[in-house]
Amino acid sequence: MLDMKYFDVYYFCHLANNSIDKFDYAGTYAEFFDGEFEVTPENFPKVSILRQFAFWLVERVIYEQARTAPQDDKYDFNPASWLEQAIKKYKNKTVSFAGFCVEKNINTEDYLETFNCFVEYLNDENDNLYFDVIWDIASEVEYILIQNREFLLNFNEHTTIYFQDHPLQRCYIPEWVKRAVLFRDKGCCVFCKKDLTGLYSLLDDKEKQFDHIVSLDEGGINDVCNIQLCCQRCNNKKSASSSTSSLYHNAY
Ligand SMILES: [Zn+2]
Is the sign of the CA dihedral 8, 49, 17, 146 positive or negative?
Answer: negative
Q: How far is the CA of 139 from the centre of ligand 1 (A)?
A: 30
Ordered by start, the domain boundaries in the chain are 9-143, 171-238
Distance between Cα 196 and ligand 1 center (Å): 9
CA–CA dist 99, 80 (Å, integer): 12
Buried b (16+ CB within 10 A) or exposed e, 53-88: bbbbbbbbbbbebbeebeeeeeeeebbbeebbebbe
Query: How far apart are alpha carbons 175 and 179 in whole angstroms?
Result: 6
Q: From ligand 1's centre to the CA of 230, what distance in Å?
A: 5
Tens of each residue's pLDDT in the chain, 252 residues:
778 888 889 999 988 887 765 544 444 566 776 665 555 678 899 999 899 989 988 998 898 888 887 655 555 678 999 999 999 999 999 999 999 999 988 877 888 999 999 999 999 999 999 999 999 999 999 999 999 999 999 889 888 877 776 667 778 899 999 999 999 999 999 999 999 888 766 555 666 789 999 999 888 999 999 999 999 899 999 888 899 999 988 888
Residue 231 has φ and ψ, to the nearest 5°, of -75, 165
Q: How far is the CA of 41 from the centre of ligand 1 (A)?
A: 30
CA gap 205, 248 in Å, rounded: 26
